Chains A and B, each alone.
Chain A
Amino acid sequence: MKDAPILRSYAVLYLIFLYGPIIILPMFAFNDNTIVSFPLKGFTTKWFAEMWSDPNLRIALQNSLIIALSTATLSTVLGIFAARASVRYKWPGKTAVVGLIMVPLVLPEMIVAMALLVVLLSIGVPLSIFTIIMGHVLICMPFAVAILTSAFQSLDRSLEEAALDLGEDAWSTFRLIVLPLVMPGIMASFLITFTISIDEFIIANFLGSGKPILSVYIFGQFRFPAKVPAMLALGTLLVAFSIILLTIAEYFRRRGVAKTGGKNSGGFL
């Protein structure tokens, strides 16, 4: 490896640009000043107390957790079906079918949200948490399929054949051999779709009939300058939480790579 001082310093600057906002977040969440600007005034935890005292936040948090848990479960289960079908079996029309499932990745989210909204309104389905889950599963499924496809691909098919030869039926082979080996992929898919769902704003906003949902609540609060420090406190907690979740997901992904005997290269996506 040649040394490249200019590129190396550029890389460091780039990381500072990427992490700048995330470092600023806790700095001002603990800063004893309503106005978010330098110089820092002193240490306080009052913004955390103020944030937590809003009952709307707790309702929003509860709603978001219900939505994210349901979305992660549903999209991961649907992802398992699609990934298994596309990796293990040969059938005509595979490219088109998988392509359709992946379409939300290349479609602006606003269009997905509006198309769903138009249909829901015309059939007369009332907007609720349930309609948000429907939308979220749609946009999370491609991520689940992508992660799980690579998990199923790294699976050694001879292990399955060995189990079948030794007298297990198809279902118990899947349960005893395939499932444990792709478990890390399933965990990673669950955690990532959970994170996407918690963060998602457009669908939560337009398919949710104004029910308090975490992202919609944060969006609304940022319009009031006095609420900004409390939102930074909330943001600090959320960022800490996602970093913990992602580290766990990365751990499972690496363990999965190690289990199937592959080489570790790359990260998510």
Chain B
Amino acid sequence: MAQSQSSEAKTGYMLVAPPLLYAVLLLAAPLATVLIYSVLTGENGAVSLPMTTENFTTVWTGRVYQAIMARSLYVSMLVTLTTVLLAYPIAYFVSFHVRPERKALWLFLITIPFWTSYIIRVALWRTILGYNGIIDSTLIGLGVTSEPLNILSYGVVSIIITLAHAYAPFAVLPIFVSLEKVDRALLEAGQDLGESRWTTFLRVTLPLSMPGVIAAVLIVFIPTVGDYVTPELIGGGKVPMIANMIEIEMLKKRDQAMGSAIAVTAMSIVAIVSILFVLLNKRFIGGTK
């Protein structure tokens, strides 16, 4: 028995070796390199030895860096909030009000837009929201307004619309999955015991679907914090975020140490926010039981 177990482990390792090797060489090693670079001195596209924490001091105290990081966090949190709030009712609708055999079709409909070119979707929002673009020309044509609104010029608003659209399915799916797991008998019990439909939702369905909401928050928050395309195309470079800042340091200023320090900072922010949310989730579940 022990022997068959060890031979099973051996087969398992042999099978997983190629993908593992790939991930170690092309993911773990580069991330470790960035970690090391972040405490070195960078100049002219190279790094040299005196180890220093100066990069981090600059990133954490420099006014420009602070402003850009605060904005990245602010924008991606707003995006996350908007996306999840918009997604919850649709996930609820599909889970509770769509016949079981049609659920797959609804989910397919919701996911299709996500699989069409990201660049094209972002660029489309630019032509939709832009000066004299589709929204402006429609509103003027309908006589609602005489001046172009030029929503695009309000950088943050247009970034939020674009990203809330881009990440919609990411928010709908996890919430839907957690709603599907809600035991329908509990809802009937709640209503039998005299709760209204709304209080049953607040006291039973919503808490039980929290894991899905937390998953949705993380799935939307992580990529939006590091988004590069939208600030570039929609914000017109006027609302740079962390990813754009990494590009400037790494490639334009050719300071790989500073770029690495920003990347490490960004990863830490993502990690801290994720851990906070996971803890929140545990506490939430613990509190309701």
Contacts and interface: CB of A to CB of B under 8 A. Distances in A.
A103 interface: yes
Contacts of A162: none
Nearest to B259: A114
A114 B274 contact: no
Q: Main secondary structure on chain A at its contact with chain B?
A: helix
B18 A78 contact: yes
Contacts of A231: 120, 123
B64 interface: no
B162 to A, nearest CB: 9
Contact of A267 (B11, B33, B111, B251): B111
Interface in A45-95: 78-79, 81-82, 84-86, 88-92, 94
Contact of A111 (B15, B18, B89, B267): B267
A122 B254 CA distance: 13
Nearest to B6: A91
Contacts of A228: 127
A166 interface: no
B91 to A, nearest CB: 10
A94 B19 CA distance: 13
B23 interface: yes
Interface string A20-32: 1110110010000
A97 B20 contact: yes
B276 to A, nearest CB: 15
Given A106-B274, A110-B228, A118-B33, A22 B113 contact: yes
Interface in B80-109: 86, 89-90, 92-94, 96-99, 103-104, 107-109
Contact of A250 (B19, B108, B132, B266): B108
A118 B30 contact: yes
A117 B250 contact: yes
Nearest to A96: B20
Contact of B27 (A90, A104, A218): A104
Interface in A114-170: 114-119, 121-122, 134-135, 137-138, 141, 145
A106 B218 CA distance: 8
A19 interface: yes
B141 interface: yes
Contacts of B229: 201-202, 219
B19 A79 contact: yes
Given A18-B165, A24-B124, A7 B92 contact: yes
A249 B16 CA distance: 26
A119 B250 CA distance: 12
Nearest to B224: A108
Contact of B22 (A1, A15, A78, A110): A78
A194 B17 CA distance: 23
A201 B127 contact: no
B53 interface: no
Given A110-B246, A242-B115, A10 B15 contact: no
Contacts of A36: 127, 133-134
Given A114-B250, A118-B259, 5 more contacts: A1-B99, A192-B115, A201-B119, A201-B229, A202-B228
Interface of B: 5, 8-9, 11-13, 15-20, 22-24, 26-31, 33-34, 37, 45, 86, 89-90, 92-94, 96-99, 103-104, 107-113, 115-121, 123-128, 132-134, 136-138, 141, 165, 168-169, 173, 177, 180, 218, 222-223, 225-229, 233, 242-243, 246-247, 250-251, 256, 259-260, 263, 266-267, 270, 274
List the 10 closest A-B pairs by CB distance, nearest first.
A108-B226, A89-B12, A37-B137, A91-B12, A85-B15, A115-B30, A110-B243, A85-B16, A91-B9, A235-B120
